Structure 1
């Protein structure tokens, strides 16, 4: 929204001269680094080509080993190992052949890239037009903090959140074995709580947020879980766990969306297909890589059956299968399907839908390459769109679903819908206020146009 002066629209604040200078420096540093790398590449084209071939062989053979069993797995694993040793040998040879000038060129490139990143961060990271809107609010009259001491490897005790809550004038409620978290949250509201907080993982955040939504009381997210994706996209500092309690004092309040699957609320995403099936295994939490390697042949191998997941695509056409589906509370900016990503906004009132289809015969190496390099959006079987409601059906009696990291088995059809502005969230006035996806363009292809806009005196977005 534009500012006004004496009734005249002035538009969003223009970048300061310092930010415009920083944008120019970032662009010059990037250009100089590219020139230095290209000039070096022309001197070593043969070595680069051979390295690229070996890296491709590592990817193809490695994935072949993962999705097959028996002799095929052994042969592919040996080939992948040999190719990897070849890559290492070539790198050693390249290093041994370096002269003083080439070493100096490498150091120069590192310095130029570091300087470009630092100046770009300054140029793009202070755009007032991109901060989410919110209203200043006073301290909670009766704040209650629910705490799960088992979350995040014991962060509740490690950061003494019970003592910190009391110092903030907030009543701490410790979740004990056998306790019903929803019942505790409901009781807190019945006893007069006007602000509910949750210190725990995203599954617990969703449950307490649902109680806050139902009674229209404000909610405080304390990042005491393992990944804390919701806190990240709220613009909280996940490393400052105790600092999140400042939201019970004078704070900023805004409304954000929630998403619903049947009668279950989630704050981040629900996944189906390969990832959801893998996390159902009891061994997954203790041995993620080993469990994934053991299950992949049954899920994506040459003999694997397609998943029975039926839905309407973005064009309204019926789709009968997908290997991976991600349904999110607002739209993620994804780099990979396994690591997920962050959301520029969580108040657009939409579900984000991502599906990935894998042709077993030809797509698997390209998929693992896209995952490894953070370019999943360029994989040919990738589709993404947004909608307010989404339905997944199946002939199976139960469908494996991972909801905010919790492994579930639910009967179809699965009905998803967005709940726009359903939750009142309070964040500290000192919090960063922006998710990584909103703070700055994460890719060079997006950052360069943004830097050019700042250089020209406009906002980054």
Structure 2
């Protein structure tokens, strides 16, 4: 381990400690200002909530109050804010240098695997044409991969089934997470390997697999020079999901007309009806691990493996996809209610339940039975897979890695 990386690790570890000390020093020396700042934060939070959940004059009044309180926060806490931001920048930059770009999930000394008959399904409409911009079809053909491009009206699941019947031993999908789940279902059912190509809008599954979402064609190396790992899938009733299933407010918004064309406007239009003072609570009921029964919560999120909600910079990523556990997060309005993991989970309702399944809108009959399918999917990824080049994050894993580097050990245990 080079001396430069060890010094950078020490600097990165010291930066957040200095930020905490600066905050404590401001609170002690300027207690009145600190209290006013905290009150301004509370006013901004309440005003933003009112702006989201009200209509008419009250919404605009809340916007004005939030703006004024935010300006007061800036005036009172400008020096502290600059200190905190500078500390986080130092942490991210020094941590990035200290950790370097580590190989994740796989290593170069693994024997390469090459598809005998690889088939790539491409949704040309996903990601506003990301596949076409990347020249994905031509890049796949150069690697000897058969390309099937979806046309309007095509049945993606049927095309994936036909590819397997025609002898495909590796199925790839270039599209959004909803499309990834459909093709992954076919791959799981027939026991063939699956390749995720990040050609959708957000590509959360690709990101949690460790793929670089900016390198669309690079994911094709999984067909020609890849290795496999087993990852879990989630199942609700008979529907597979690779990321999550959302019940409550998000599911209602996703299924509304016009959401795909104007997402922000749709949220602004529907939130007062869904979360305002006259909103009826969602008809959702479930039991928590301690035996308590909950009902009427505005959000129930069930994920294929738990999200790391503590991560600064990218809250919500899943560190692992092979724990055999579902992540369950519930909230009532802006207030978190509970978070836990389980192998199974059930939601009851007196009517069909809207579900946002990997971003796609469904209507499912209750009860909704969620289960984890451990190691259900053979995922093939590039053998020399490299993560996106990013700074360190305030997570336990990155902090532990920095401690190892500072002590002269490899970043990856």
TM-score (norm 1): 0.78
Q: Is the Cα–Cα contact under 8 Å of residues 353 and 366 in structure 2 kept in the other structure?
A: yes
Structure 2 counterparts to residues 4-403 of structure 1, below 5 A: 19-32=5-18, 34-35=20-21, 49-69=35-55, 73-75=56-58, 77-85=60-68, 87-88=70-71, 91=74, 113-124=88-99, 131-132=104-105, 136-334=111-309, 341-358=316-333, 367=334, 379=335, 381-396=336-351, 398-403=352-357
Deviation readout 1:233-268 (Å, 9 max, x if unpaired): 110000000111111112121111111112211111
Q: Which runs of 5+ in 2 are unaligned?
A: none
Give distance in 2, aligned partners of 1:82 and 1:120.
38
CA drift of 1:284 comes to 2.1
Give distance in 1, aligned partners of 2:66 and 2:87.
32
Give distance in 2, aligned partners of 1:156 and 1:246.
16
Structure 1 residue 443 and structure 2 residue 391: aligned?
Answer: no
CA drift of 1:446 comes to 7.2
Q: Is the Cα–Cα contact under 8 Å of residues 47 and 90 in structure 1 kept in the other structure?
A: no
State the partner residue of 1:410.
Answer: 364
CA drift of 1:160 comes to 1.3
Deviation readout 1:69-127 (Å, 9 max, x if unpaired): 4xxx51453254145146437747998xxxxxx8xx99887665433322223445667
Q: CA RMSD in A?
A: 3.3
Give distance in 1, aligned partners of 2:102 and 2:131.
34
Change (3 A) 1:307 1:37: closer
Which shifted more, 44-53 or 226-235?
44-53
Q: Is the Cα–Cα contact under 8 Å of residues 137 and 253 in structure 1 kept in the other structure?
A: no
Give distance in 1, aligned partners of 2:239 and 2:327.
17
SS at match of 1:136: coil
Give distance in 2, aligned partners of 1:167 and 1:201.
23
Q: Is the Cα–Cα contact under 8 Å of residues 26 and 115 in structure 1 kept in the other structure?
A: yes
How many aligned positions are there? 408
Change (3 A) 1:228 1:435: farther
Give distance in 2, aligned partners of 1:109 and 1:329.
34
Q: Which has the larger radius of gyration?
A: 1
Q: Is the Cα–Cα contact under 8 Å of residues 454 and 460 in structure 1 kept in the other structure?
A: no
Give distance in 2, aligned partners of 1:107 and 1:417.
46
Give distance in 2, aligned partners of 1:53 and 1:111.
24
